[in-house]
Amino acid sequence: MAKPKLALYWAASCGGCEIAVLEINEKILDVANNFEIVFWPVAIDTKYADVEKMEDGSIAVCLFNGGIRNEEGERIARLLRRKSQVMVAYGSCACEGCIPALINLNSREAMFERAYLEAQSVDNPQKIVPQTKNEVPEGEIEIPKMYQQVYRLKDIVPVDYFIPGCPPVADMTWAAINAVITGQLPPVGSVIAGDKTVCETCPMKRDVKKITKIVRPHEVIPDKEICLLEQGIICMGPATRSGCGALCPTVYMPCRGCYGPPIDVLDQGLKMISALGSVIETNDPAEMERIVEQIEDPAGTFYRFGMAGSLLRRAKHE
């Protein structure tokens, strides 16, 4: 009897999700026993043309990580959606855009200027920036068109399940794979993670202390018993879905927010701003402004993982 087919793909991402798949350790043998891996560019030599030849719906499940940054990512997302019975947005980039989506606050042109013309390590006297087509002695080469913004996977194709995290923890990865193996799939649209906030699963004590200043993690040695936010360290726990086991606060580092917004929260950044306001010890607007000005890179702090899915979404371009 033929095994069900499994596909894995990365679009605009760092590759950490590819490694996260292997963190299920010996259970990877169960994956091999139960699935035929038919497409995984980082690990096996299969081509887009091989996928195009497959029958529509012939792939049982696809774990798709990475946001959609260019026309190639969109083309392959649509191809894999057509070929797959179950499409899973795997990891923060696919679910919420993640760090690549911070470019949404700027333009593609500004990104090219910084990366190819202005960066201190660049040696580009001819001031060449990427072009979709270019003539070389061997002929014409073509690279995918870069979009003005990063999109979530669900902005491009219908998604059946979401596994957040940067990267997802092994337990959640295995839970999704095992659900397919056993046929015990959750309702379509489910986020395979916790139903609480990171704060509700964090072992550190909350004493409702008020803060008068904001500090960065490297500037202090935190009290290992007290909530980091109440020590003036911005911890995204109040605005982040549980499921990771509060891994960062457990080792006295603030939650970064990679599991995305909790249930019924529309905008993770706004939720965190509200939580921060509740612990600032002042009603004086000037003093409040002084404290808030101590936040380095507010957009990168509050929307580090969720810009593509936020109410901000992107900067306006003419």
Residues 127, 158 within the same domain: no
Q: Is residue 108 part of a domain?
A: yes
Residues 164, 289 within the same domain: no
In this predicted model, what pLDDT tens digit does every residue of 96-110 receive, in sequence order? 999 999 999 999 999
Residues 214, 132 within the same domain: no
Q: What's this model's pTM, rounded to 2 decimal places?
A: 0.92
How far is Cα 261 from Cα 237, in angstroms, rounded to an integer? 10
What's residue 284's pLDDT? 87
Q: What is the DSSP letter of 130?
A: -
CB 201 within 8 A of CB 243: no
Extended strands (E) in 96-180: 133-136, 139-142, 146-151, 161-163
Residues 160, 38 within the same domain: yes
Token pair belonging to 136: 């070389």
Asked which of 22-26, 51-55, 245-249 is least confident by mean pLDDT, the reply is 22-26
Residues 265, 206 within the same domain: yes
Q: Is residue 10 part of a domain?
A: yes
Q: Is residue 191 part of a domain?
A: no
Residues 9, 35 within the same domain: yes
Q: Is residue 311 part of a domain?
A: no
3-state SS record for 170-192: HHHHHHHHHHHHHCCCCCCCCEC
- At 318, the pLDDT band (50, 70, 90 cuts) reads low
How far is Cα 209 from Cα 226, in angstroms, rounded to an integer? 9
Residues 162, 269 within the same domain: no
In this predicted model, what pLDDT tens digit does every residue of 219-273 receive, in sequence order? 999 999 999 999 999 999 999 999 999 999 999 999 999 999 999 999 999 999 9
Q: Is residue 286 part of a domain?
A: yes
In this predicted model, what pLDDT tens digit does every residue of 141-198 receive, in sequence order? 999 999 999 999 999 999 999 999 999 999 989 988 889 888 899 999 999 999 999 9
How far is Cα 9 from Cα 17, in angstroms, rounded to an integer? 10
Q: Is residue 274 part of a domain?
A: yes
What's residue 316's pLDDT? 78
Residue 27: φ, ψ to 5°: -70, -10
Q: Is residue 313 part of a domain?
A: no
Share of the chain above pLDDT 70, in %: 99
Extended strands (E) in 13-65: 36-39, 59-65
Residues 142, 289 within the same domain: no
What's residue 165's pLDDT? 96
Q: Is residue 159 part of a domain?
A: yes
In this model, does residue 56 exceed pLDDT 70? yes
Coil vs helix vs strand at 4: coil
Residues 142, 162 within the same domain: no
**How many structural domains does the chain have?**
3
What's residue 145's pLDDT? 95
**Ramachandran sector of residue 94 (left: φ over 0; alpha: ψ -120 to 50; beta: rest):** alpha
In this model, does residue 306 exceed pLDDT 90? yes
**DSSP states of 227-274 as a string?**
-SGGGTB---GGGSB--S-SHHHHTT-----TT-PPTT-S-HHHHHHH
How far is Cα 78 from Cα 84, in angstroms, rounded to an integer? 10
What's the domain range around 20?
5-99+150-182
Identify the domain boundary among 129, 158, 182: 182
Residues 131, 266 within the same domain: no
Residues 216, 270 within the same domain: yes
Residues 73, 36 within the same domain: yes
- Residue 20: which CATH number? 3.40.50.700
